[in-house]
Amino acid sequence: MSQPTAPETLGSLTDETSVDPNSTSAKEIAGKSPMQIAAGRLLKDKIAMACAFVILFFVLIAVFAGVISKLFGVSTDTVLASQYLDVLNGGMPKPEYGPPNGGFTMDHPFGIAPRTADDNLAYWLYGARTSLMIAGGATLFASVVGIVVGLLAGFLGGVVDKVLSFFVDTFLTVPFILAALTIAPILNERFNSSDNYPMIQKVSLVAVLAMFGWMGMARLIRGEVLSLREREFVHAARVLGMPTRRILFKELMPNLAAPIIISISLMLPAFVAAEAGLAFLGIGVTDGASWGRTISFAVTYFEQYPLYLWEPLIGVVLLVLSLNLLGDAIRDALDPKTRR
């Protein structure tokens, strides 16, 4: 991959119009790296671009959740909940504060929650932040662990490989949800008297997700390194006396970009779904805004107040769906064997 390849062979992979080799303009064809070719393919993929916009939308919401909620004049702090609620009607919001009994109000564009009178829009915005923060953090940690383990196992081989592969296999035999089920409450309880409990809960969730999410990456990287380390350019580097660290980072790493991107594209949607799923089960984020948590509250009120459930549900589905579809398009774009 890293050897210089003649531009002509790369030219046939792209959709550029072929140029007569005898004409003078032929010299202007620049060689493209495989990454550039993939990026070019991706930019032409309409579904992938639509998904990228949706993801960008959610990222902006997550980053500017505070600003946007101020703009709408809503907040996650509810003062004197009972003034908004119709106590005789099972704690449903009073008609003047929006659905399900009233119409749309600008004060609470998404309505307010039954029983707690929390503003749905504010919780939705901060839910996006929670979701992306936890998924992003878990992806980062899982990737670092996966890359390091995969590189070491593949490159060093021998006993190191055996031991690391054993750990990968062992972690794979523990079902993720059960592991999270067991560990998350233990971590939570340790800190539940602490002042910044919500923050610690999120950090521990990231740790649990990363702990059971790195194996796929490690396997993929190990396999790739196993074949790469027998290639001529690695042998050449070793003969030239390059230190192992430089071989790893300068020779191997650039060739691992594709598997790394592919693993990340698989991890992100899985972590977003897992975060919401755990919160739905009542063992993820239990203090603070999370889409999954709102969904689990909303199930009871679904018959009278379906909108309350649909708002966070659409958030999760849209985000996971577009992350998955974009990931799929990226994998296709990176695969030179894809027919188009």
Partner 1 sequence: MFAYLVKRLISGALVVTLVSIAIFLLFWFGPSSPAQTICDRETSNRCGDRIEIYEKTLGYNNPVHEEYLKWAKGVFVGRDIQIASTTYECDAPCLGVSYLTKQSVSEELASRLPATISVAVGGAFLYLLFGIPIGVAAARRRGTVADKALVSSFLFLSSIPYYLFALLTWLYLTVLWEAPFVSDTGYFPITENPAKWFGGMFLAWVALGIFGCTQYTRYTRGAMVEALSEDYIRTARAKGLREGTVVYKHGLRAALVPVVTIFGIDFGILLAGTIFTERIFDIDGIGFWSLQAVQQKDLPVVAATALFSAVLLIISNLIVDVIYSVLDPRVRLS
> Of 56, 186, 199, 253, which one interacts with partner 1 (CB under 8 A)?
186
- Asked if 148 touches partner 1 (CB under 8 A), the answer is no
User: Contact at 8 Å (CB) between 223 and 206?
Assistant: no
- Asked if 282 touches partner 1 (CB under 8 A), the answer is yes
* Nearest distance in Å: CB 319, partner 1: 10
How is residue 172 written in tokens?
A: 């794979």
* Nearest distance in Å: CB 192, partner 1: 8
- Asked if 104 touches partner 1 (CB under 8 A), the answer is no
Q: Which residues contact 172 (CB under 8 A, 6 or more apart)?
A: 215
Q: Which is nearer to partner 1, 260 or 273 (CB)?
A: 273
- Asked if 320 touches partner 1 (CB under 8 A), the answer is yes
Q: Tokens 């393919």, residue? A: 41
User: Contact at 8 Å (CB) between 52 and 46?
Assistant: no
Among residues 314, 264, 304, 265, the alpha carbon closest in space to that of 93 is found at 304
- Asked if 335 touches partner 1 (CB under 8 A), the answer is no
- Asked if 273 touches partner 1 (CB under 8 A), the answer is yes
Q: Which is nearer to partner 1, 95 or 277 (CB)?
A: 277
- Asked if 309 touches partner 1 (CB under 8 A), the answer is yes
Q: Which residues contact 41 (CB under 8 A, 6 or more apart)?
A: 332, 333, 340
Backbone angles phi, psi at 86, to 5 degrees: -95, 95
- Asked if 200 touches partner 1 (CB under 8 A), the answer is no
Q: Tell me the C-alpha distance between 169 and 147, whole Å.
A: 16
Strand segments, DSSP code E, in 63-151 are 85-86, 92-93
> Of 175, 243, 254, 336, which one interacts with partner 1 (CB under 8 A)?
175
CA-CA distances (angstroms) from residue 315 to 54, 102, 106, 310? 11, 23, 20, 8
- Asked if 15 touches partner 1 (CB under 8 A), the answer is no
- Asked if 338 touches partner 1 (CB under 8 A), the answer is no
* Nearest distance in Å: CB 176, partner 1: 10
The residue range among 63-71, 117-125, 258-266, 272-280 that interacts with partner 1, by the rule CB under 8 A, is: 272-280
> Of 26, 233, 317, 331, which one interacts with partner 1 (CB under 8 A)?
317
- Asked if 210 touches partner 1 (CB under 8 A), the answer is no
Q: Which residues contact 101 (CB under 8 A, 6 or more apart)?
A: 86, 89, 92, 93, 94, 95
Q: Tell me if residue 314 falls in helix, strand or coil.
A: helix
Binding site for partner 1 (CB under 8 A): 169-170, 173-175, 177-179, 181-183, 185-187, 189-191, 269, 273, 276-277, 280-283, 295, 299, 302-303, 309, 313, 316-317, 320-321, 324-325, 328
